[in-house]
Amino acid sequence: VHEDLATTLERRLAQRQPVYDAFEAVDTTGRSVDEVVRDVAARSGLAEVGCLAFERRRESDIIFGRGILGDLGGAMAARGLRGQIMLVSDRGAREAGWAEQALRSLATAELQFVHVPIEGGEGDKALATVERVYRAGADRQLDRSAVIVGLGGGALCDLAGFVAATYLRGIELVLVPTTLLAQVDAAIGGKVGVDLLGFKNAVGAFYPARIVVIDPETLSSVPPALLSDGLAEVVKIAFVRSGALLDRLESLPRREAILAGPDIIRAAGEEKIRLVRIDPYERGERALLNFGHTVGHAIESGSGFRLSHGQAIAIGMVAETWLAECEGWCPSGTLDRLMAILQRLELPVSTAGDPDRIAPLMDQDKKRRDGRIRFAIPADIGCGVVVEVSAEQARAAVGHVAVGNQA
């Protein structure tokens, strides 16, 4: 038997030898892995010709205080931002007088500036507006030492950030968020971008502002409904990151009381800062900020944007928490607590709509995230996790909050 086996092996080896000989052989005997890798790379023409270490952008100072808008110029000058400034503002911030106050502060600090007023809001988060702002910069011959200051709501911050990230391959950026949502969320963490072909934030970058100037005073002109929108994001942060923040929200006598003291706004901002610090490029924990957003985005576009972002996110959080409770992923009672705070903040907890029409709209999120539907949910109050859900589970969650078929 052994002789037969040896003969067979020899015959096969002889047959295959021409094929084996066609490959270049590297003898690894007694050599280190590094030596062998270098040898293989050199023979295959893949040898490295150099290695470049790229620094990502350096720190982003987030400063916070009542009335600090009056010292915008001082804060910039103190950080060496003395190049020509292009301040881009949205209508709401202008009409409330915040742009004027910012410009006065730049003048007092003897900084050079131009003002580019735009309408703002989601409609201006578009490449056409980006081009208008580029042109305004080019007309004024802004060079690479220039600074873009974006003053307004979250949409304006995202747009101004995108311009700063791309004009002359990137110039300095300062953000002055003037809505609650922008102060606790949009302006912090460096995500900038604009919408494209009906898809939100379809093009963008990670480009943190050198300074984010958060002055809660600027919220005094924000209409109540817009305040509720921002509060939806504060509720979101509380449920996935901080039980203490939820306690504070629950102690507000009414929605507008959030304006009285900056405590809650600051605490919510700090939670976002902590998350971004752990996960700047959204590869892990930062995805917790999507709580309510997988269902919420579908509800928002399913309503033809009749529902505001904050309203849709509120409904989305209810849907996702309902599923979490049904599946035993969070303790019972979590949903009740969520519904109670949302209702007190005058946010909706359900909508008219056909779940079979809304649920497929989640595919857009799915496509962006490797074909899986993920919900960020509170595994407990203040402690979020990301879970994968099936299409049926996602449909059931939508069915819980979308009733009737009039959306």
Ligand X SMILES: NC(=O)c1ccc[n+]([C@@H]2O[C@H](COP(=O)([O-])OP(=O)(O)OC[C@H]3O[C@@H](n4cnc5c(N)ncnc54)[C@H](O)[C@@H]3O)[C@@H](O)[C@H]2O)c1
Residues that bind ligand X (CB under 6 A): 90-93, 96, 98, 120-122, 125, 152-156, 158, 178-179, 181-182, 185-186, 189, 191, 200-201, 218, 221-222, 226, 229, 309
In the complex, minimum distance from the CB of residue 230 to ligand X, in angstroms, rounded to a whole number: 6
With respect to ligand X, which residue has the nearer C-beta, 168 or 259? 259
With respect to ligand X, which residue has the nearer C-beta, 224 or 261? 224
With respect to ligand X, which residue has the nearer C-beta, 92 or 302? 92
Q: Please report, for residues 262, 356, 387, the alpha-carbon distance to residue 237 in angstroms, rounded to integers and kept in the order given.
A: 16, 29, 17
With respect to ligand X, which residue has the nearer C-beta, 103 or 222? 222
With respect to ligand X, which residue has the nearer C-beta, 166 or 221? 221
In the complex, minimum distance from the CB of residue 155 to ligand X, in angstroms, rounded to a whole number: 3
Q: Please report, for residues 109, 194, 349, 372, the alpha-carbon distance to residue 160 in angstroms, rounded to integers and kept in the order given.
A: 22, 10, 33, 32
CA–CA distance, 85 with 113 (Å, rounded to integer): 4
In the complex, minimum distance from the CB of residue 88 to ligand X, in angstroms, rounded to a whole number: 12
Those residues whose C-beta lies under 8 Å from the C-beta of residue 330, and which sit 6 or more positions away, are 321, 324, 377, 378, 379, 380
With respect to ligand X, which residue has the nearer C-beta, 86 or 93? 93
With respect to ligand X, which residue has the nearer C-beta, 267 or 330? 267
Torsion on CA atoms 97, 98, 103, 106, rounded to nearest 10: 150
In the complex, minimum distance from the CB of residue 126 to ligand X, in angstroms, rounded to a whole number: 11
CA–CA distance, 164 with 207 (Å, rounded to integer): 8
Paired tokens of 218: 């600027």
In the complex, minimum distance from the CB of residue 165 to ligand X, in angstroms, rounded to a whole number: 12
Those residues whose C-beta lies under 8 Å from the C-beta of residue 78, and which sit 6 or more positions away, are none
Residue with tokens 């003969």: 7
In the complex, minimum distance from the CB of residue 81 to ligand X, in angstroms, rounded to a whole number: 21
Residue with tokens 């579908």: 298
In the complex, minimum distance from the CB of residue 309 to ligand X, in angstroms, rounded to a whole number: 6
Contact in structure between 189 and 287 (CB atoms under 8 Å): no
| CA angle in degrees (0–180, nearest 5) for 46-49-53 | 115
Closest CA to 312 of 326, 327, 324, 294: 294
With respect to ligand X, which residue has the nearer C-beta, 228 or 321? 228
With respect to ligand X, which residue has the nearer C-beta, 89 or 334? 89
In the complex, minimum distance from the CB of residue 261 to ligand X, in angstroms, rounded to a whole number: 18
CA–CA distance, 125 with 194 (Å, rounded to integer): 5
List beta partners, residue 203.
194
Tell me which DSSP letter residue 219 carries.
G
In the complex, minimum distance from the CB of residue 129 to ligand X, in angstroms, rounded to a whole number: 12
